[in-house]
Amino acid sequence: MDIFSNNYSDPLFCVEDFSPSTEVHESSPLSDNGISRAKFSDEEVLLASNNPKKRAGRKKFRETRHPVYRGVRRRNSGKWVCEVREPNKKSRIWLGTFPTAEMAARAHDVAAIALRGRSACLNFADSAWKLPVPASTDAKDIQKAAAEAAKTFGQPSSESDTREKPVAISPENVFFTDEEALFGMPGLIQNMAEGLMLPPPYCMDTDDVETYADVSLWSYSI
């Protein structure tokens, strides 16, 4: 069954007709199980940020759901949960609990693409070509692909890890220069240290200048 050939009507998602000519299936690098991924053009992607949500009826959902991401709600523990409604049904598919809202939003996009194809309203534009598409619309396949995508995007990249690693210094890397032998001045270091202990040179202040102002440097007496 072609999961991209059906358009469903659901108030939680944006619906728009797309041309089937731009649909592409590829092997997903996010999975080793042969899961394919769908690829759409930029004009076809419907973003949640461009389509504001409708006002939630229940107070609980108004207080806990994410202001932008679709299908994402916050738990009291600070974690984020995600679930999607099945088309033309009252039942929902539970996708799991995640440490960040972004991971939950990625999981939502996987399920939205699987259930609604091009008519899905996505949280991220690149989800249309980066996320794996489940093998079927079965809840277990969707949950598996959603968990895989959330885990992949939740891992920090090696480029963004800016923590400095300690550098081990071996005795071979230590280099010492003997300035006394280099300049032929034995006792140089000792003399420099003693020089720091000497009192500063005498400096005349303004009173001293006035005191010695009348002193003649030359004597013209015979």
Q: Which two tokens stand for residue 27?
A: 């092997």
Q: What is the number of other CB atoms lying within 10 angstroms of the CB of residue 86?
A: 16
How far is residue 146's CA from residue 31's CA, in Å, rounded to a whole number? Answer: 11
First to last CA, the chain: 129
Q: Where are the domains of the chain?
A: 20-154
Banded pLDDT at 128 (limits 50, 70, 90): confident
Residue 2 is predicted with a pLDDT of 47
pLDDT at 10 over 50: no
Residue 100 is predicted with a pLDDT of 92
The more confident residue out of 80 and 164 is: 80
Q: What is the CATH number of domain 20-154?
A: 3.30.730.10
Output the average pLDDT for the chain. Answer: 68
Residue 94 is predicted with a pLDDT of 92
Output the pTM of the full model.
Answer: 0.49
Banded pLDDT at 104 (limits 50, 70, 90): very high
Banded pLDDT at 7 (limits 50, 70, 90): very low
